[in-house]
Amino acid sequence: MSVSIRQFGGRIPLAMVAIRPARLFDIPDVMRIERESFREDYPRGVFLVFLENNPDTFLVAEYNGRVVGYVMGYLRPDLEGHIMSIAVDPAYRGNGIGSALLTEVIERLINRGARYIGLEVRVSNENAIKLYERFGFRRIKRIIGYYADGEDAYYMLLPAEEWGGRN
Ligand SMILES: CC(C)(COP(=O)(O)OP(=O)(O)OC[C@H]1O[C@@H](n2cnc3c(N)ncnc32)[C@H](O)[C@@H]1OP(=O)(O)O)[C@@H](O)C(=O)NCCC(=O)NCCS
């Protein structure tokens, strides 16, 4: 029997959330969360190829046997650890799961040699921007028309030496 999050008053105990590398069988759940979170709708092949190339930095959050979030990070040749996508199931947001995924992927990318962690975010995505700024990311530049629908992105960076580790 699955446990309803209402049993916890709408809050999930983070101790019951496991952050682990994604596996092939997680891809349908990851794609469901992606469709519920973004206007872009990447084909399955994008996730499969990403997983094959970045098995240690494509992570999922599992709660009660269910995938409730994911983050996709990779190390670029210029030693920027780039976060390609992060999302949490809308029903599970605001419980610290996004922060836990972000923390784990940053640590893994820095351990693999990243000097910076970088990402793009929609300029209208205030929740995510606030979250990144709390982690120490700074807005480096605005990329005009970055998204397919014409919206601009902020390119945000966190230097590895400013990463204070897990709080
Ligand atoms: C950004 C995102 C991954 C954060 O995940 P999350 O699990 O809600 O993150 P956290 O619980 O760690 O909280 C992050 C902040 O979101 C805000 N928040 C609180 N409740 C929230 C809710 N129900 N929904 C969204 N954000 C909420 C708070 O500012 C919170 O900060 P706090 O720690 O001071 O409370 C998630 O909102 C999401 O999937 N958004 C849609 C996809 C997206 O925009 N991804 C980023 C693209 S660059």
- Sorted by sequence, the CB contacts under 8 Å of residue 59 that are 6+ apart come out as 19, 20, 21, 22, 70, 71, 73, 101, 104, 105, 108
Instruction: State pTM to two decimals.
Output: 0.91
First to last CA, the chain: 34
The pLDDT value recorded for residue 166 is 53
Amino acid at 4: S
Q: Which residues of the chain have pLDDT under 70?
A: 1-10, 165-167
Identify each DSSP E strand in 35-152 by its residue range: 58-63, 66-75, 80-88, 116-122, 138-143
Atom of ligand 1 nearest to the CA of 120: 48
* Cβ of residue 37 lying under 6 Å from some atom of ligand 1: yes
Residue nearest to atom 39 of ligand 1 (CA): 87
CA of 163 to the centre of ligand 1 (A): 20
Domains of the chain as residue ranges with CATH? 13-162 (3.40.630.30)
97 lines ligand 1 (CB under 6 A): yes
Phi and psi (nearest 5°) for 166? -65, 140
Ligand 1 pocket test, pick from 95, 127, 129, 157 with the greatest ligand atom count within 8 Å of Cβ, gives 127
